[in-house]
Amino acid sequence: MASPREIEVKRRALMAATVATAAVGAVAQRAGAQTTPARAAPPAMKVSFTVNGKPRDLDLDPRTTLLDALREGLHLGGTKKGCDHGQCGACTVILDGRRINSCLTLAVMHPGSEITTIEGLGTPDKLHPMQAAFVKHDGYQCGYCTPGQICSAVAVLAEIEAGIPSHVTADLNAKPALDDAELRERMSGNICRCGAYSNIVEAIGEVAGRKA
Q: What angle do CA 161, 167, 170 make, to 5 degrees?
A: 75
CATH number, domain at 183? Answer: 1.10.150.120
Indicate the Cα dihedral angle 77, 85, 137, 120, nearest 10°.
40
What pLDDT is stored for residue 156 in this prediction?
A: 97
Q: For the chain, how many structural domains are there in total?
A: 2
Question: Which of these three, 103, 121, 139, is where a domain ends?
Answer: 121
Residue 163 domain flag? yes
Residue 11 domain flag? no
User: Based on the domain organization, do 212 and 127 belong to the same domain?
Assistant: yes
User: Based on the domain organization, do 195 and 127 belong to the same domain?
Assistant: yes
Residue 15 domain flag? no
CATH number, domain at 59? Answer: 3.10.20.30
What pLDDT is stored for residue 212 in this prediction?
A: 42
Residue 3 domain flag? no
Q: How far apart are CA 188 and CA 69, in angstroms?
A: 26
| pLDDT averaged per 10 residues, the chain (length 212) | 57 61 61 63 91 97 97 96 95 97 97 97 94 95 95 97 94 91 96 95 92 45
Q: How far apart are CA 42 and CA 62, in angstroms?
A: 7
User: Based on the domain organization, do 101 and 152 belong to the same domain?
Assistant: no
Burial of 113 (0-12, 13-18, 19+ CB in 10 A): middle
Neighbour-count burial for 40-49, b at 16+ CB within 10 Å, e otherwise: eeeeebebeb
Question: Which of these three, 71, 91, 121, is where a domain ends?
Answer: 121
Q: pLDDT, tens digit, for every residue of 33-89?
A: 555 566 777 888 999 999 999 999 999 999 999 999 999 999 999 999 999 999 999
The residues facing 45 across adjacent strands are: 60
User: Based on the domain organization, do 180 and 211 belong to the same domain?
Assistant: yes
| pTM score of the predicted model | 0.79
Residue 110 domain flag? yes
Q: What angle do CA 123, 127, 133 make, to 5 degrees?
A: 145
Residue 10 domain flag? no
User: Based on the domain organization, do 127 and 147 belong to the same domain?
Assistant: yes
Rounded to 10°, the helix 129-136/197-207 angle is 140
User: Based on the domain organization, do 110 and 176 belong to the same domain?
Assistant: no
Residue 139 domain flag? yes
User: Based on the domain organization, do 154 and 98 belong to the same domain?
Assistant: no
Residue 171 domain flag? yes
Question: Which of these three, 121, 136, 152, is where a domain ends?
Answer: 121
Range of the domain at 64: 42-121
Q: Could you tell me which of 109, 207, 187, 180 has the C-alpha nearest to residue 145?
A: 187
Biggest CA–CA distance in the chain, Å, is: 93
Give residue 199's Cα distance to chain centre: 23
User: Based on the domain organization, do 195 and 144 belong to the same domain?
Assistant: yes
